[in-house]
Chains A and B, each alone.
Chain A
Amino acid sequence: GDSVTQMEGPVTLSEEAFLTINCTYTATGYPSLFWYVQYPGEGLQLLLKATKADDKGSNKGFEATYRKETTSFHLEKGSVQVSDSAVYFCALRSGGGADGLTFGKGTHLIIQP
């Protein structure tokens, strides 16, 4: 079945540091890939997505590129802020968009001033 593997945290960085959160996946066919973010006390919010190979999703300074050859969708940001502290989930969706999501375990990111 489908699966998503992402680096486990917590990941602690200083403000303005470069961020990478690794995500790799296993799926049949051509899934859509997502990064969701969960701030304390809130529901998951879509951060960015990519629906086909070589697509780059971007939002709020975060980027991730759909790499079919390495089955990866790593999340990056050039300069993190304290407000980026949250839990980040990598996820995929197969079945032409009609199915539920398969999630990674989540990565807790802590940004220190």
Chain B
Amino acid sequence: GAVVSQHPSWVICKSGTSVKIECRSLDFQATTMFWYRQFPKQSLMLMATSNEGSKATYEQGVEKDKFLINHASLTLSTLTVTSAHPEDSSFYICSADASGQAKNIQYFGAGTRLSVL
């Protein structure tokens, strides 16, 4: 099946620094990728839709200047958490739509746990 790689799997950073998380589709092209956030014992919440070659679409309440998304190629989307603060500590998960393949299916990365000190 389709594989989505997410890196790093775990990152600890100091408050005020920026952290970049990568999401790669390894064996398929994805014009659309999604970024989710999951708090402990909560649902995955959609943060934004990342479209190759265009600006990301953010869900209501998500700060686009804080969570920068870049989707420069059909196999890579990045999420940068800028000026991270302890309240940004969470589990971030990406997914990718398989363009031209089985539609309506998202393939997920294993997630990135961010801890901001």
> Which residue of B34, B43, B103, B105 is within 8 Å of A46 (Cβ)?
B105
Q: Does A100 contact B (CB under 8 A)?
A: yes
Q: Does B4 contact A (CB under 8 A)?
A: yes
Per-position binary interface string of chain B over residues 72-107, scored 1 when its CB falls under 8 Å from any chain A CB and 0 otherwise: 000000000000000000000101000000011111
Interface size on A, as a range, is 20 to 34
Are A101 and B93 touching (Cβ within 8 A)?
A: no
Interface size on B, as a range, is 20 to 34
Are B4 and A101 touching (Cβ within 8 A)?
A: no
Are A45 and B44 touching (Cβ within 8 A)?
A: no
Are B104 and A32 touching (Cβ within 8 A)?
A: yes
6 residue pairs A–B, Cβ–Cβ below 8 Å: A41-B110, A43-B111, A44-B93, A44-B95, A46-B107, A100-B59
* Interface residues in chain A, defined as those with a beta carbon under 8 Å from any beta carbon in chain B: 4, 32, 36, 41-46, 49, 51, 89, 93, 97-106
* Interface residues in chain B, defined as those with a beta carbon under 8 Å from any beta carbon in chain A: 4, 6, 32, 34, 36, 41-46, 49, 59, 93, 95, 103-111
